[in-house]
Amino acid sequence: MGTKQEIDLSITYNIREYPDIKSGRCDNCDNAQFKSSIKNAVFLRKCRNCVMKKII
């Protein structure tokens, strides 16, 4: 039993509530490559490996 938080890939996280564990890296898989998009002036970062989504 660990305290590591489960990442739910079906939801979009917000960096204000879920700061990066390692800055610029995916919290789920530690990947540093993202697909970024801007929608309604919101910057969305999607991991290229595990598709975890976070608004930053």
Can you tell me the distance from the alpha carbon of 7 to that of 52, in angstroms, rounded to the nearest whole number?
A: 8
Whichever of 5 and 49 has its CB closer to Zn ion, that residue is 49
For residue 49, state whether it binds Zn ion (rule: CB under 5 A): yes
Q: How many CB atoms lie within 10 A of CB 18?
A: 13
Binding mask 8-47 for Zn ion (x = CB under 5 A): ------------------x-xx-x---------------x
Pairing of strands 12-14, 53-55: parallel
Q: Which residues contact Zn ion by CB under 5 A?
A: 26, 28-29, 31, 47, 49-50, 52
